[in-house]
Each structure stands twice: as C-alpha cells, then as structure tokens.
Amino acid sequence: MTRIGTILFRAGLLAIGLALLTACSDNWNNPYPRSEARANVAYSAFSERPKHLDPARSYSSNEAEFIGQIYEPPLQYHFLKRPYTLIPLTADAVPKPRYLDASGRPLPDDAPSSAIAESVYEIHIRPGIRYQPHPAFARDAAGRYLYHSLDSAAMAGKTQLADFKHTGTRELVAADYVYEIKRLANPRLSSPILGLMSEHIVGLKALGDTLEKAVKAHPDAALNLNDFPFAGAEAVDRYTYRIRIKGKYPQFIYWLAMPFFAPVPWEADVFYAQPGMADRNLTLDWQPVGTGPFYLSENNPNRRMVLKRNPYFHGEIYPVDGDAADRRAGLLADAGKPLPFIDEAVFSLEKETIPYWSKFLQGYYDSAGISSDSFDQAIQFSAGGTPRLTKSMRDKDIHLVTTVAASIWYVGFNMLDPVVGGLSEDRRKLRQAISIAFDYDEFISIFLNGRGIPAQGPIPPGLFGYVDGVAGLNPYVYEAHDGKIVRHPIEMAKKLLAEAGYPNGRDARTGAPLVLYFDTMASGPDAKSRLDWMKKQLDKLNIQLVVRGTDYNRFQDKMRRGNAQLFEWGWNADYPDPENFFFLLYGPNKKVANGGENAANYDNPEFNRLFERMKDMDNGPERQRVIDAMLEIVRRDAPWIFAYYPKSFGLTQGWVHNVKPNLMANNTLKYRRIDPALRATRRAEWNRPVRWPIALLAGGLLVAVAPAVIAWRRRERKAA
Amino acid sequence: MLSYILRRLLYAVPILIGVNLLTFALFFVVNTPDDMARLQLGAKHVTPEAIDRWKVEHGYDKPLLLNERAPGSARFTDTIFFRHSAAMFAFRFGKGDDGRDIGNEIRTRMGPSLAIALPVLLIGVLVNVTFALLMVFFRATYLDLWGVVVCVVLMSISGLFYIIAGQYFIAKLWNLLPISGFAGGIDGFRFILLPVLVSVVAGIGSGARWYRTIFLEEIGKDYVRTARAKGLSEVRVLFRHVLKNGMIPILTGVVVLLPLLFMGSLITESFFGIPGLGSYTIDAIQAQDFAVVRAMVFLGSFLYIVGLILTDISYSWVDPRVRLR
C-alpha cells in the first residue's frame, strides 16, 4: 500500500472508531444529542420551510405552527370546547361591538344592519404581560436603547440574535396592537389580508395609500408607522385600544384570534431596520418577537427550528371546563395546572416521508401524520368501517387521533359556461345528474383510505349550520335508506339527464355526444388513476369527460378568465362561521366579474339576499332557518358537486398527553405534556443496535478479498 | 500561465451572460411576474393591488428585457433582466422570494454540501481506482469477469434504491446510524456516514468500470512492456507506472468536479435531510423562486468554468508535455 493509501486507511479506521465511540453508550441511530435524552423537549418535524414568520404576512398553516406559539392576539379558541368557542388570551374579555349610526349616535345591539354605519370594538388587555427577551429592548443605565443605532462596525461579527450580549423586555401595551394593525397597510410587507381588511377597517385603505406614497418618495428610508395617523384603530389608554369597523361585520371577532392582530413592538421594527440586519437574515420576518409561552431560540429553516419556554411568560392555566368525553380521554387530568408543560420544542426539517415515518416508529418524533405509503402499516378498518390501529401500532402504545377538517373539496361548474352553467331548469337537472353520477363514497374508499366524509353541502361538520345524519342530507343527490344516507340510483341521474336534453348522453336536437371538460392541477402518474376514475363516473351517463391537466398558474389564469367548465377546488376555513363557506357562492364575489373567491361564478339573487341577512345574524334558531333555506337553494342549483370533507388521521406516542385536534387554534403546543422518562425507556428498547451485520460485512469482505490475495501471491511467485 | 487563466476568465463573461439570458428566457416563458406573485401570496384573498405591491417589493414591476418608455441606456438597464443580472457578476445575488439573503444562504449551506460531497469524491475515487486496478491485475480471469458483472449490476440500479435500501437496512432495521439529519462539528460525523457510504457504493459500478477501461488501455502500451521486461513485479507496474500515466483522464473527470462539489447533491441531500445547496436548489425550483434558481444556475456555471480551467492547469502539472499559453 502506498503512503497516502496507508494514511487514508488509518484515518478511515479512526473515523469509524470515533463514530462508534460517540454512540457506544447510546442508541446509535439517535439523531439528537445524548444530553437531551431525558429532557422535557417535544420533537416533531416540518416538511416545508416557512416563508414568513411576520404576523402581518404569515397566512399558512405551516407558519402558524411556529408563530402561533410566539405571538398572542387578544383572543384564542378554547382548547377543548366544541363548537369552537372564543375566549380571551391577552384581553380581559371577549369584546362586544358597539354600533353607531351614520351620525355617530349609539344604536342598540339588535339594530338592523342597514342602520349600522360603524361597529366599534374596544379591547382591554391585561396588565403585566411582558415580551420575550430580545436585544431590541436592551437599554443602558440611562435608559437609552443599546442596539437602536448600530453602525457597520458594531454589526461586525454579529450573525444571529445570540451575538447581541444584552437583551431586555418590556410590558405589552395597547399601542402595540394598534401598531400591528398599521403594519397591515405597510406596502413593504405585502400583507395578504390588506385587501380584505381595507373593506372593513375604517381608514386602512387610506393609510395604505399614504404609506405607499411615502415609500415611493423615499424608497430607502425606514418607515416610522407612529408618524402616520390612522382613524381605524387607536390606543385609548395604556391597556385599552379601539378598532372601528365599517358597518356590521360580526365575523371580525374571529380575526382577533389570528396572528394578524397580534402585538408587535415598535422597537423590533427599529432594531431590524438597521443597515446590515437584512443581509444577515435578521428581520422580523425571520426572528419573531412575541409575548407567548415560547420564543424562537434557533431559526434554521434549512435544518431545524427550536422553540424555548419564554422566561417572561405571563402565565396561563390548563382549561378546567371540558365535557365528559374529554374527561374520559384524560384531557382534564391537568386541569388548572400552569402552562406550558414542555420546556422546548424541536422541529426538524424532514422532506421525505420514509425517514419521517421511520423516525416516528423509532420514537424520535412524538407525533406523525400518516402518508398513503404507510397507511396500511398503521391503520385497519373494522367490519363497520371504523378505523383502528394495527396490532404493531397498538403494541407500541401509539394512539390514533382523527378529526374531520373544517374544509371542503368540491367540483365546481362554471356557471358562465353555455353547456353546464346558468340557472334554467334543464341546466340544473344536468348538474344534478352529474352530481349523482360522481360516487364520492367510492372515491373516499379508493383514494383516501376512508379519510373523508361525503359532503352534503358547503358547510363542514363542527361549524354552526351543519346538520348531522339523515336530517342533513342533500336530497338532490342522496336519499335515506334504513336510517343511512345512500346515493340516488344511477337511473335517476339518467332520467334527469334526459330531462335536461341529453338522453343517453347525447344532445336531443343534434344527436352529438355530450363532451365535458375538466380542469385540474393534478398531473403525473399519481393523478392518472384518479382522473381515470372521474372519467369512469361520467361513463355511467355516457358523457365523455376530457381532462385538462395544468399547472397552478395556468389553472388560476383559467379560473380568472372563466375558461374552465368543470374544475376541482377546495377551501379551508379561516374561522368557524358558515359565512366563511357561503361567501364562496355569493354573487358579488364572482371570480370572473369581480376577482372574488366565487370560482363557480354562481349568482342566485335569492341566495344572495339570504346570505346578506345570514352573515350579520347571531347563531340561533333563526340563523339556522336561513342557513337551511340557503342550503336548499345551492343543493337544488348544484353549482358545485359537493365532494367530501377531508378527515385527518394523526398518530401520537404513548408518552404524549393532552392531544385534541383543534382546527381553529394554532397555539396548542402550550397544552401538550410529555413523559420524557417513558420516552427514553421506549427509545432504548426500540433502537437496540443490531451488530451482526457489521461482523457479516467484515467476514464477507474477507471472503471476497481472500481469493484475490491468494491468486495475486500465486501469480507473484510464478513471475519470480 | 497567468495570461492563460485571465483569458479564460474573460471568455467566461459572455458564457455567463448567455447562461443567464437562457435561464431568464426559459423561466419567464412559463412564468410571468404575476404568476410568481400569485404563487407567493397564496390562494386566499389575493387582490390585483396585492400582486402589484409584491412585484414592486421584489423588483418585478419593470418590463422583462426592454423598457420602451425609458430614455437612452435606461431602455436596457431599467428592466427586470438587467436589474437582477448585473449584480450577480459581483456575486451579489439579492434576496429570495422569502426575503432571505441568497448570498448568506449559499455561504451557510456550502459547508453541509461539502461535508458530504468531499468524502464521497475522495473515498469514491480511492475505492474505484483500487477496484479497477484489481480487475486489471486479474484481467481475463474469472475475478475480472465477475468484477465487471458486479459493476454492471451496480450501475443498473437506480441511485434512489441505494438510498432507500441504505436507510432501511442500516438505520431502520439494524439501528446502526441515524436515518437522516445533520449537525455541526464532531457530532455531525455520524450523520454523514450513511449518505457517504450510500453514495460511494452507488458510484462504484460506473466509476470502477471507467477507470478499468483507462488502465486497460495503458497496460497495453510499450512502456508497460518495458517495465515488465525490466523484471518489475505486476503490482509495481500497476501502482507505480500505469496509475501515474492513467492520471490524466482521471484528472479530467475529477478536477472538473471539484468546484461543483459546493453545489451539493439534489437527491441525497433531500433524503438525508442535509441542509446543503442541492436541497436549496430543489426547494427553489419547486417554489418557482426565480431569484434563487438564477443564482444557483449562475453559480453552477461559474464553478463549472473554474473546474475546466483547473483541469487545464492540472494537465500541465501531471504531463510535462502540456504547456498553457
């Protein structure tokens, strides 16, 4: 062997020895430091790096998973109560709006919507709440901010927040909430809800225009929002602020539970606006500053994100009021105990499902979703169709958590299309026939492994207005049979199709076959079977379906222009109110005419009238009656094929406690409790290294090399 | 030699402009700035005003290549192409659509990419050359035959299979190494063992066959016959003479790869959770982040050119007959 070869060989041996040495008293496959083995740390994964952590910009669930634990809007959802109930978070009570007429005079609570010119929400926050430790708050003995006027020399060597020696905190004040509402109008932030909120908050649009002019005039100058007056929100005193809403908008209360309305300290904006900060990725978009139970101590979206317990957290207790089912599930065992339970949460980037699933089974993640690859390994269905864990999962004390999402998937008909659109009786019958033909019970069974419920209307379960069971069925597609909901027979669909002018799928006048076009973003081999299934559904009616697969941008473009005929789409609830689903069918929200969210371009004057009434009503029997009437209209008109409400399945390890899916709340990490000792024991048990393959490999190498060595020696001897 | 290097670097400028222009054209043929804005802003509540604001914020509010309204040279400079491209020649890549500084990301991610790619290259070359020399040593015997068969089998298997099999057996079934992840410092060693092992094994088939061909060609030359006639042992002939003369084509393949090691491996990094430049590029393509895609293509092209120059220089080092002018 040459000298270099010898060195490399020895280095290799040393490296392997070192690796084995570091792992010798631990599980060799443990991806975490040994010091964390019994720490009160929660472990989970994220598959997509967050784009924004600024509360004014963030609007994705994968981002909310982080900022929901850091920022505190005034309200939150009760962890256990269903239907979803708003409770105070930093506020001392859930605010009730005061109504004013056009001349500013107070109106009674039951004043008609038409008389209400403005709704005023006055929110009192609790004193004594403090921000997480952060260098933006650090001051010297004279009270001057230490890090608000840094030059390039002072920034040298600073690449992360931990490089700033001093940190500070301060009390949360009402002005911080007002400041954040102003930030929604900052053109440099491109808040996704600016357009929507400008329609509702007094003066927000004007503020946005003013700020835009200021930015254009001084493109490089920092924007001090405190210098700009704003009529829509004001701090009344240190702990009280007021928001003015145009007209009546009862759903606004739900927005007050979202991070968009969480407080942001002006000091943070000043700190991050300094030269050199953005080049080091030190921005509010990446380094949040909040009052919540956790703060982001490590932000490396390429590898892992770490949340640590906020030492200044104001304190909160685990809810004491839950129902009997919660008690049975052990969800009230920690009632009244101080939150949060865990000290730290580590989120590791895991893009591929195989390592993610394997690590969960090895105990290195506390919870996991179930991908289609691992579904059969984890879940089996009983004879009655109830999902349960497989024996191997039960043996590991893994628990299944299921919930129906506050979402709907639907196939929309473009109501502007000359073939399938319009409100005439024959078009209605055509859409109803197609709705019957699409057997979504079968779809859920084949493609979703049972993870869905056939939809009966636009409102998913768990929201006010949803009626469970036979009483809530869509009579145009389903019927009751022995207390069960079953789809109408296909003969009924054929009859409706004939009445619509297409007997046996052919135009009664011309004899031409009916050809429909389906636009979808699904493409590739995975989608093929699903699209073939869709064609098969219409084959039942002798209708030809042409699938037009396209990418996201082209699909959006077609929808904006109204060039689609049938299309597939979905919606996740922003808040638990039926208005958030019915508005997708409200005429003035038509996508083609007004750029709204009504992608089907459905416009029924009667439905519109009822919507305008329903959206301002409080939940109660009267609102339910209006909702029932609206459901009847959309079911009859069938602008959508109501496909399914997706059901999510999640798994948790036996050492994880207080897990109850809450589709509205994004701050539930504080309720989670883990048993680190049990976890350490199970990990050790599940991950004992299997050493014989190493011996086998060494032996195999010897067996392979030995004949070569023998042959070489023989040849050398022969040559000599 | 210095003038040669300078000349080659100057030649690189039009090539880089061309690559940049091509990337720009290909990207914007399928994406408009409006499409990019919509993708970034999400599906909910996106208004035309929000799209305009996003374009202004990210510098996509100008014409693509020619600004007909602008006076003089601004017709070309006040465009998306010029604004986003000119700074790259000073290695200022700007910000990605997520607001993070691309240069900072590249600097941070280079280390993890190198941590995998460098050992894979070194160990891979060592293993492949050794294996190839052994096959040449036992040429025309059953050992050579079976060595080639093993190489063909190894070459025929998809790289993804090695990754999945390695993760399944070594990390999941036998619990010998972490299945994925990364850490800095000495603790990072156990995370890179598996991807390095898998990558080396995956490369043996093609690498060893290639080197075998090179060495077989060398072994038939006159100087080898002369060496044997002098009574040198076969091992000495192979390791002292054939290996040295076979270095030129090996260098062609290896030196050109050196700068590209910084770019990482797309699939390996993604499967093993390595926060390197390979996974950065994949993420950017999936998110249609033009700023990052363009920066990575530019960097890749530049490093490739550097690799070619280094190859030329290495020729002159290993072969005294080669002179660079």
> pLDDT for B155-197, tens place per residue?
999 989 999 999 999 999 999 999 999 988 888 899 999 999 9
What's the pLDDT tens digit per position in A3-39? 544 554 555 555 555 555 444 446 889 999 888 888 9
CB A265 within 8 A of CB B240: no
Q: How far is A622 from chain B (nearest CA, A)?
A: 30
- In chain A, what residues touch B178 (CB-CB under 8 Å)? 29-31
Q: Among A11-25, A128-142, A616-630, B142-156, whose mean pLDDT is lowest?
A: A11-25
- Rounded to the nearest 10 degrees, the angle between the axes of helix B189-219 and helix B102-137 is 50
Rounded CA separation A535/A49 (Å): 36
- In chain A, what residues touch B141 (CB-CB under 8 Å)? 711
Is A501 in CB contact (< 8 Å) with chain B?
no
How high is the pLDDT of residue B63? Answer: 85
Q: Give the closest residue to B40 by CA, choosing from B98, B100, B101.
A: B98
Q: How many CB atoms neighbour CB A489 within 10 A?
A: 11
The count of CB pairs under 8 A between chains A and B is 181
Report whether pLDDT(B258) > 50: yes
Rounded CA separation B103/B298 (Å): 12
Q: In what order do the strands lie in the sheet with A233-237?
A: A106-107, A98-100, A118-124, A240-246, A233-237
Q: Which residues contact B291 (CB under 8 A, 6 or more apart)?
A: B58, B84, B93, B94, B95, B96, B97, B102
Give, in degrees to the nearest 5, the angle at Cα B238 between B236 and B244.
Answer: 105
Q: Check residue A514 and report its DSSP letter.
A: P
Burial annotation A630-661 (CB, 10 A radius, 16+ → b, else e): bbbbbbebbbbbbbbbbbbbebbbebbbbbbe
The mean pLDDT value of chain B amounts to 86
Is B148 in CB contact (< 8 Å) with chain A?
no
Is B63 in CB contact (< 8 Å) with chain A?
no
Q: How far is B174 from chain A (nearest CA, A)?
A: 5
Q: How far is B309 from chain A (nearest CA, A)?
A: 26
What's the pLDDT tens digit per position in B52-67? 888 887 888 888 888 8
Tokens representing A619 are 């939940």
What's the pLDDT tens digit per position in A104-132? 999 998 898 889 999 999 999 999 999 99
In this prediction, residue A1 has a pLDDT band, given cuts at 50, 70 and 90, of: very low
Q: Among A81-85, A97-101, A677-681, whose mean pLDDT is lowest?
A: A81-85
Indicate the residue of A194, A281, A355 with minimum beta-carbon distance to B179.
A355
What's the pLDDT tens digit per position in A366-377? 999 988 788 889
Q: Among A151-155, A230-234, B260-264, whose mean pLDDT is lowest?
A: B260-264
Indicate the residue of A302, A352, A359 with minimum beta-carbon distance to B109.
A302
Give, in degrees to the nearest 5, the angle at Cα B296 between B292 and B299.
Answer: 140
Q: What is the ipTM of this complex?
A: 0.85
- Which A positions 233-292 lie with beta carbon below 8 A of chain B? 278-281, 283, 285-286
**Cβ <8 Å between A52 and B99:** yes
Q: What is the mean pLDDT of residues A256-280?
A: 93
Indicate the residue of A194, A693, A712 with minimum beta-carbon distance to B50.
A194
Rounded CA separation A490/A537 (Å): 10
- For the entire predicted model, the pTM comes to 0.88
Rounded CA separation A49/A299 (Å): 11
Q: Check residue A104 and report its DSSP letter.
A: S
- Which A positions 11-30 lie with beta carbon below 8 A of chain B? 12, 15-16, 18-19, 22-23, 27-30
- In chain B, what residues touch A552 (CB-CB under 8 Å)? 39
What's the pLDDT tens digit per position in B224-255? 899 888 888 888 888 888 888 887 788 777 87
CB A23 within 8 A of CB A688: no
- Phi, psi for residue B97 in degrees, rounded to 5: -65, -20
**Cβ <8 Å between B283 and A49:** yes
Rounded CA separation A161/A246 (Å): 41
**Cβ <8 Å between A187 and B177:** no
Phi-psi region of B234 (alpha: psi -120 to 50; beta: other; left: phi over 0): alpha
- Which A positions 565-594 lie with beta carbon below 8 A of chain B? 574
- In chain B, what residues touch A302 (CB-CB under 8 Å)? 105, 108-109, 275, 279-280
Is B269 in CB contact (< 8 Å) with chain A?
no
Is B99 in CB contact (< 8 Å) with chain A?
yes
Q: How many CB atoms neighbour CB A542 within 10 A?
A: 15
Rounded CA separation A713/B137 (Å): 12
Q: Give the closest residue to A353 by CA, choosing from A375, A333, A326.
A: A375
Indicate the residue of B45, B167, B175 with minimum beta-carbon distance to A354.
B167
What's the pLDDT tens digit per position in B293-323? 889 989 988 888 888 888 888 877 777 777 7
- Which A positions 70-129 lie with beta carbon below 8 A of chain B? none
What's the pLDDT tens digit per position in A441-485? 999 988 988 889 999 999 999 899 999 999 999 999 999 998 899
What's the pLDDT tens digit per position in B104-124? 889 989 899 999 999 999 999
Indicate the residue of A59, A352, A556 with minimum beta-carbon distance to B271.
A352
Q: Give the closest residue to A2 by CA, choosing from B133, B63, B159.
A: B133
What's the pLDDT tens digit per position in A323-353? 999 999 999 999 999 999 999 999 999 988 9
The mean pLDDT value of chain A amounts to 91
How high is the pLDDT of residue A17? Answer: 55
In this prediction, residue B219 has a pLDDT band, given cuts at 50, 70 and 90, of: confident
